[in-house]
Amino acid sequence: MDEINLNGPTAFLDRDGTIMEDTGYPRDPSIVSLCPNASEGLRLLRKKGYRLVVVSNQAGVGRGIISRNQFRAVHARFNTLLAEAGIRIDQYLYCFHHPDDGCSCRKPATGLVESYLRQSPHGQSFMVGDKLSDLELGSNLGMTSFLVLTGEGNKTKEKLGAENTAYKAFPNLLDLAESLEKAGSGASD
């Protein structure tokens, strides 16, 4: 097992379209697969001392499209694929609410991450995802947000327009992790 720096920063990661291929309301564990270079990127982030925390809206549950059991099966399969690649996610923060519920945890709302951060330092933590709600979550937390061009990433980049300078884009998680390494902005010391 990798050494974890408990005082290190956290990489907050979207799940669908960022780590796991986005199939839209995933219900079937047999079709769960990982995005290109996602496991390599996560391994490098861990090596750099980042804790790995997944933040994911799963409104399919609140909408009644995904049953609790289907959700659990997909989650278990996802976790197994990561374990097989030598990666352990430190914490999962899931919102199951319907978008109309007005909850405080559906991205870009900050509820889940804020309660997590109460027990952990902010440091050089960052948020990464493929949708605007991911990027806005980071902004709402005063954190750097990165866009990955997996999942809906290219559509999001288009929406942001050519003038976007707020959110740096990377082809996938590995390219992001490598750029952090080059910049020396990781948590290793």
Contacts with Zn ion by CB under 5 A lie at: 95, 97, 103, 105-106
Q: Which of 8, 9, 13, 14 binds Mg ion (CB under 5 A)?
A: 14
Which residue is at the shortest CB distance from Mg ion? 17
Cα separation, 10 vs 126, whole angstroms: 7
186 binds, among Mg ion, Zn ion, none (CB under 5 to 8 A by kind): none
Cβ-proximal residues to 175 (8 Å cutoff; 6+ apart), any chain: 37, 41
Task: Report in angstroms how near the CB of residue 107 gets to Mg ion at its nearest.
Answer: 9
14 binds, among Zn ion, Mg ion, none (CB under 5 to 8 A by kind): Mg ion
Task: Report in angstroms how near the CB of residue 18 gets to Mg ion at its nearest.
Answer: 5
The pair of three-digit structure tokens given for residue 114, joined into one six-digit string: 């804020």
Q: How many residues bind Mg ion, per CB under 5 A?
A: 6
Cα separation, 55 vs 170, whole angstroms: 19
Which of 152, 54, 37 has the alpha carbon at shortest distance from 160? 152
Report DSSP state, residue 52: E
- Determine if 136 is a binding residue for Mg ion (CB under 5 A): no
174 binds, among Zn ion, Mg ion, none (CB under 5 to 8 A by kind): none
SS (H, E, C) 147-185: EECCCCHHHHHHHHCCCCCCCEEECCHHHHHHHHHHHCC
105 binds, among Zn ion, Mg ion, none (CB under 5 to 8 A by kind): Zn ion
Binding site for Mg ion (CB under 5 A): 14, 16-17, 130-131, 151
